[in-house]
């Protein structure tokens, strides 16, 4: 185990004894802001970067059950609030980034970036995963929120997922057990996705590559991909609520370019929020709630957050629960 000089929280002392020490890295009071795409937010009370799924399972087994556990992936669709996160944050890294071909599919570690999986599939001549090239983030997070874009989503391609449960069990769950919905999957509470198998189809690599290039070009043309942003801010409404997409409702309510502190609604795509340089997490959350209120006042539609808001505000809670 490697620890930073700061002292472990009292509840984490069980992870540093003569009988048990993790092989991964434990970092008390780890700054999370620099790890997020928005570049905002407070610290994790304890950050754990496991060396393997077995290492993670042992830590989960030793950790008192009352200690909250929160897995974070690429942090592309989260706002970490300014007060930080209590308990243990889990961040998968090097030991969870392997991609291998498995017949007509791929087996990928949860830390693999979605784009990287799409690229590997293209090299292997496997079609059906091109849509991942248009989704920022990692595969573990994509499963947890049933991420989708450009005509497909994870529910359409997932075969099985391996998770480490809060009590330290390593389970393989079939995709059918996850009760997939729009931007939703049902996983065991506080479990951590560690590996997945994705179904695909054999196809000429040149055709797959062409589709990936089309998706990347379309995404760069329509979205502020080079800004400090976090992907789509709000879910598209259900058809019985509105036939218009979230960005259309936001635009119609006059919110394109709206600012709160250092946070701004993108002029390029108004379902994206930006950190223009000095935003706080509170700025971003207040901006999102302001947009929700204006859209509701204008259209009677209540937008639902797609970006996850996690942790403690610096002063007080804002908006609906994360």
What is the set of active-site residues?
183, 232, 306
Q: How crowded is residue 319: how many other Cβ atoms within 10 Å of its Cβ?
A: 15
Give dist(CA 207, CA 214) in Å, integer: 11
Instruction: Tell me which residue of 297, 294, 300, 308 sits closest to 265, measured CA to CA.
Output: 294
- In degrees and rounded to multiples of 5, residue 318 shows phi and psi of -135, 140
**292: exposed, middle or buried (C-beta count within 10 Å: 0-12, 13-18, 19+)?**
buried
Nearest residue to 130 via CA among 179, 222, 203:
203
Selection from 162, 130, 166 nearest residue 143 by Cα: 162
Query: Could you report how far apart the first and last alpha carbons of the chain are, in Å?
Result: 32
CA–CA separation, 107 and 139 (whole Å) = 11
């Amino acid at each position: 185990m490697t620890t930073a000089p700061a002292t472990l929280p009292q509840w984490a002392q069980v992870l540093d004894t003569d009988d048990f020490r993790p092989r991964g890295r434990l970092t008390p009071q780890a700054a999370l802001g620099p790890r997020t795409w928005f570049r905002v937010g407070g610290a994790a009370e304890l950050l754990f970067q496991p060396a393997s799924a077995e290492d993670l399972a042992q830590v989960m087994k030793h950790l008192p059950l009352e200690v909250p556990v929160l897995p974070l992936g690429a942090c592309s669709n989260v706002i970490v609030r300014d007060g930080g996160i209590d308990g243990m944050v889990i961040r998968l890294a090097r030991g969870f980034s392997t991609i291998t071909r498995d017949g007509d599919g791929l087996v990928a570690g949860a830390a693999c970036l979605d784009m990287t999986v799409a690229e590997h599939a293209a090299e292997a001549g496997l079609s059906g995963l091109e849509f991942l090239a248009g989704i920022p983030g990692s595969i573990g997070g994509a499963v947890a929120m049933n991420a989708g874009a450009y005509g497909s989503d994870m529910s359409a391609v997932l075969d099985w997922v391996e998770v480490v449960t809060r009590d330290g069990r390593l389970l393989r769950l079939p995709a059918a057990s996850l009760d997939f919905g729009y931007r939703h999957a049902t996983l065991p509470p506080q479990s951590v996705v560690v590996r997945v198998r994705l179904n695909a189809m054999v196809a000429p690599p040149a055709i797959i590559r062409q589709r990936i290039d089309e998706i990347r070009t379309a995404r760069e043309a329509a979205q502020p991909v080079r800004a400090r942003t976090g992907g789509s801010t709000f879910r598209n409404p259900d058809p019985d609520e509105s036939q218009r997409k979230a960005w259309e409702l936001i635009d119609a309510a006059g919110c394109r370019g709206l600012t709160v502190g250092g946070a701004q609604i993108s002029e390029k795509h108004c379902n994206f929020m930006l950190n223009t340089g000095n935003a706080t997490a509170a700025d971003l959350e207040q901006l999102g709630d302001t947009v929700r209120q204006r859209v509701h006042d204008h259209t009677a539609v209540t937008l639902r957050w797609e970006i996850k808001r996690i942790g403690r505000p610096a002063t007080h809670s804002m908006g609906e629960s994360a």
